[in-house]
Amino acid sequence: MLRRLGSGGRRPLSALQLGAWGPPRAPTPAPPLRAVGSVPAVGAGGAGGWSEALAASVPVRGAEELLLGAHAATGLPWWGSILLTTVALRASITLPLAAQQHYVLAKVENLQPEIKNIARHLNQEVAVRANQLGWSKRVARLTYLKNMRRLVSELYVRDNCHPFKATVLVWIQLPMWIFMSVALRNFSTGAAHAQGFSVQEQLATGGVLWFPDLTAPDSTWILPVSLGVINLLIVEIFALQKMGMSRFQTYITYFIRAVSVLMIPVAATVPSSIVLYWLCSSFMGLSQNLLLRSPRFRQLCRIPLTKGDSDTPYKDLFAAFYSKFISRK
């Protein structure tokens, strides 16, 4: 009988019984498919219909009401209302979710030594059982992977740190970003369902400095270029933090760099109100990233200490940035 090793020694593997160690059973045949109701085909105007449906959707209308309410309550010009709403959303929604994400990832990182210990001993016991029962290498490998996945899942449940919880931030932040962007587009273009034309007229004179008209693109490209620079800074901070990245992580980093650069010409073609929101949101994201490096803030959020934590994170970040981009020969 195989036994599981926890952090303190050997423990019985409750589900690794004799029957569970045989070759994987053939899957039960799926029931035959039945006909369902017809699905409407997307016609030539499908893309436009989808865009119009999104613009008139309940979440977008909620974003419009939020912006109108903030503007009416504060009495600020529209550029100030957009900044204030963005900061409030970031501080009240995404910052707590980001702290939760770091909490989960820190607990997962602290589990890695225990996972490696279990993997080593499980591999040995599978090899012994394979010799006893005459398993092929394929059967032994599948048995090892099956039980390793189960054991790791048990550890995640035990410590309440399943990695999927770290993705909640993305599933909340991305839709929020889309809905707010579409709401500002509705205001800037005078869409009827967005109480259009009065808001559009206010946005036309609600800008500041070099972009007085929030319904027009920024002809100076200052906002688009600033957006690209901040997004690239966020990517580089992440890359400096993840030294020794895997090939997949490296490809993702290059992809996000490319998207950050491509966002510059895109931002130069949309109303300044949208770019102002994007810029403020990215700046808050950069600030949030730096804040979550602070040992005091991490302690306040009860984020567990990990082996990679530093007492001087900002000094280390500056040294890594200087070494990579400034002192290169």
pLDDT reading at 136 higher than 60: yes
Percent of the chain beyond pLDDT 90?
40
Determine the pLDDT at residue 8.
43
Tell me the average pLDDT across 118-131. Answer: 90
Please determine, for residue 141, whether its predicted confidence score (pLDDT) is greater than 60: yes
Q: What's the whole-number mean pLDDT along residues 132-138?
A: 87
Q: With bands split at pLDDT 50, 70 and 90, how would you rate the model's confidence at 42?
A: very low
Q: What is the reported pLDDT for 21? A: 43
Measured distance CA(74)–CA(260) in Å, rounded? 33
Q: What is the pTM of this model?
A: 0.76
Higher pLDDT, 225 or 246: 225
Over range 38-58, report the average pLDDT: 61
Average pLDDT, the chain: 80
pLDDT digits (tens, 9 = 90+) for 180-221: 999 999 888 877 444 445 788 888 888 888 888 898 898 899
Q: Phi/psi at 5 (nearest 5 deg)?
A: -105, 120
Distance CA 45, CA 52 (A): 10
Dihedral of the alpha carbons of 179, 181, 187, 188, in degrees to the nearest 10: -160
Residue 310 has pLDDT above 50, yes or no: yes
pLDDT digit string (tens) for 59-114? 888 899 999 989 889 989 999 999 999 999 999 999 999 999 999 999 999 999 99
Cβ pair 274, 252 in contact under 8 A: no
Q: How confident is the model at residue 244 (pLDDT cuts 50, 70, 90)?
A: low
Please choose, from the candidates 123, 168, 147, the residue with its C-alpha nearest in 3D space to the C-alpha of residue 155: 147
Name the E strands within 171-217.
none
- Can you list the pairs that 317-322 forms with residues at least 24 positions away whose Cβ atoms lie under 8 Å? 317/237, 317/240, 317/241, 317/293, 320/240, 321/236, 321/240
How much is the pLDDT for 226? 94
d(CA 236, CA 197): 41
Whole-number Å distance between alpha carbons of 286 and 205: 29
- According to DSSP, the residues that pair with 10 across neighbouring strands are 5
| Residue type for position 323 | S
Question: Cα separations (Å) of 183 from 126, 141, 145, 278?
Answer: 57, 52, 47, 13
% of residues, the chain, pLDDT over 70: 81
Rounded Cα–Cα distance for residues 222 and 224 (Å): 6
